[in-house]
Structure 1
Amino acid sequence: MLYSILKMIIDAATTILGGAFLLRFLIQVVRARPPMRIANLIFQLTDWAIKPLRKAIPGKGGYDWASIVAAVLMAVISALFDTWLINYFAVKVIVFLTALSLLHWIIYGFMGLLVIEAVFSWVNPFAPVASFVRELNAPLLNPIRRFIPTLGGFDFSTLIAFFLLQIISRVVTNLILSNLI
């Protein structure tokens, strides 16, 4: 029981921080302008790691690679903790668990953003946060919208993207786990 409680706490902490690092990177990639409260939250959650990492890993190509490195480090911490709890240290297992964590954070992060965008489109599409979420989802939804137009005034790109993310998650997870065994 203590194992499951410790695992839940470590998974929650690393997922929140890893997701915040990835979100910080995504905001920079799409050049989105978050509302001030969201920006402050993200910076307060991540500055403790990003600022020291920037000294060793400068940004290149206009991107803050320290955010990606910090997310990978969070995934490694999660994987190390998992292998420590089961008392099985193997580099291959740690690498695969790290990749699996990063994959899940990215996919479930986009799924969460898609759900938030769908809710805002029904409730208040003109909210300041709604436009920010739309900007974050644009790289994912715009290619789908090019192939699938709105039907009867309904945009199905969010639903299709959601299903595609689920398919990608299952396929890649199975590939990673099949290589692990």
Structure 2
Amino acid sequence: MIVDAIAVLLGSALLLRFWMQAIRVRPPSSVAQFTFQLSDWLVRPLRRIVPGVGGYDWASLIGAFLIVLAATSILFFAGWPWPAVALMAFQRFLEWILYGFMALLVIEAIFSWVNPHAPLAPFVRALNEPLLRPIRRVVPLVGNLDLSLLVALILLQIAQLLLGMAFAGR
């Protein structure tokens, strides 16, 4: 459980680092410092092997998967074969991505209710914008109420359910 908690923290920092770079969002200095200090030990050596291609920080994404694989490799010592461990790691990696997007949406909802002018609110809004923009084109405002956050959460939960069903037969 402790290993999994540490893995989630490191993996989340790496996925956040990848997402910030992919959508070109400049984080507040406190978030940048936390994210980079937590993940530089893995990203810098990986960049020597895996360069950024297409404007994406692939080293951060691969680093997140390696963290998931390391945390999941405990199953190998419990008698699971390597292919099953790798498949389970891939499933958990995709789940972490979905949970990360859900967490960002929930944080944005909390900011909108509690303090929409909080210092981190514009940053979180910018992180969610690529997810919400296509939904906002389809889902109209209902009485000045933006339901795109709710629709995005439901769609992410459906994706999570489909992911679970896809990997259920392993």
The Cα shift of 1:100 comes to 1.5
Number of the residue aligned with 2:123? 132
Structure 2 SS opposite 1:128: coil
Q: What RMSD, in angstroms, separates the aligned Cα atoms of the two structures? A: 1.0
Structure 1 position 174 matched with structure 2 position 165: yes
Instruction: Give the whole-Å Cα distance in 1 for the aligned partners of 2:64 and 2:11.
Output: 4
Runs of 4+ in 1 over 2 A off after TM superposition: none
- Match among 80, 105, 111 for residue 114 of structure 1: 105
Matched pairs, number: 170
What is the CA distance between 1:88 and its match in structure 2? 1.5
TM-score, with length taken from structure 1 = 0.90
- For 1:100-145, what per-residue CA distance to the aligned partner results, in whole angstroms no more than 9, with x for missing partners? 1111111111111001000111122122211100111111111110
Shift of 1:149: 1.2
Letter of the 1:14 counterpart: A
Deviation digits for residues 7-64 of structure 1 (CA, Å, limit 9, x no counterpart): x111111111111111100000111111110110000100010111111111111111
Cα contact 2:14–2:63 (8 A) shared by 1: yes
Normalising by structure 2, report the TM-score.
0.96
The Cα of 1:94 is off from its aligned counterpart by: 1.2
1:79 counterpart = 2:69 = no
Aligned to 2:145: 154
The residue aligned with 1:53 is 46
Return the alpha-carbon distance in structure 1 between the equivalents of residues 23 and 98 of structure 2.
17
> For 1:135-178, what per-residue CA distance to the aligned partner results, in whole angstroms no more than 9, with x for missing partners?
11111111110000111010001011111111110111111122
Q: Which residue of 2 aligns with 1:39?
A: 32
Where in structure 1 are there 5+ consecutive unaligned residues?
1-7
Deviation at 1:83, TM superposition (A): 2.9
Percent identical residues:
47
Any stretches of 5+ residues in structure 2 without a counterpart?
A: none
Is 1:66 aligned with 2:59?
Answer: yes
Q: Give the corresponding residue for 1:28.
A: 21
Q: Distance in 2 between matches of 1:126 and 1:163?
A: 26
Cα distance, 1:91 vs structure 2: 2.4
Residues 99-110 of structure 1 mapped to structure 2, 5 A cutoff: 99-110=90-101
Cα offset for 1:89?
A: 3.2
Q: AA paired with 2:67?
A: M
Q: Distance in 1 between matches of 2:150 and 2:62?
A: 31
Tell me the CA shift for residue 99 of structure 1: 1.3
Provide the secondary structure at the position in 2 that maps to 1:62.
coil
